[in-house]
């Protein structure tokens, strides 16, 4: 024999589980400390500077064909 299930409570449990899953994803995506954010910002700036330093200047940059 099967158990009797209250559908209202089952829906609430399902909604809570879905919200918890979204919250877990957000914690993983946005849950970084100020120090971690600063380090990644410094790394991105450094990579940008290195990339800019290796660009080649073309003599015809300002001219149109």
Domain parsing of the chain, residue ranges = 7-53
- Quote the CA–CA distance of 48 and 46 in Å, as a whole number: 5
Using one digit for the tens of pLDDT, what is the confidence trace for 17-42?
999 999 999 998 888 889 998 999 99
9 burial level (CB within 10 Å; 0-12, 13-18, 19+): exposed
pLDDT of 32 reads 86
0.95 surpassed by pTM: no
pLDDT of 61 reads 62
pLDDT of 63 reads 62
């Amino acid at each position: 024999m099967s158990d009797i299930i209250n559908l209202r409570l089952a829906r609430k449990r399902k909604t809570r589980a879905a919200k918890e899953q979204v919250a877990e994803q957000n914690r993983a995506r946005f849950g970084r400390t100020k120090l971690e954010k600063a380090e990644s910002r410094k790394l991105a700036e450094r990579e940008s500077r290195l990339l800019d330093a290796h660009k080649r200047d073309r003599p015809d940059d300002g001219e149109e064909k």
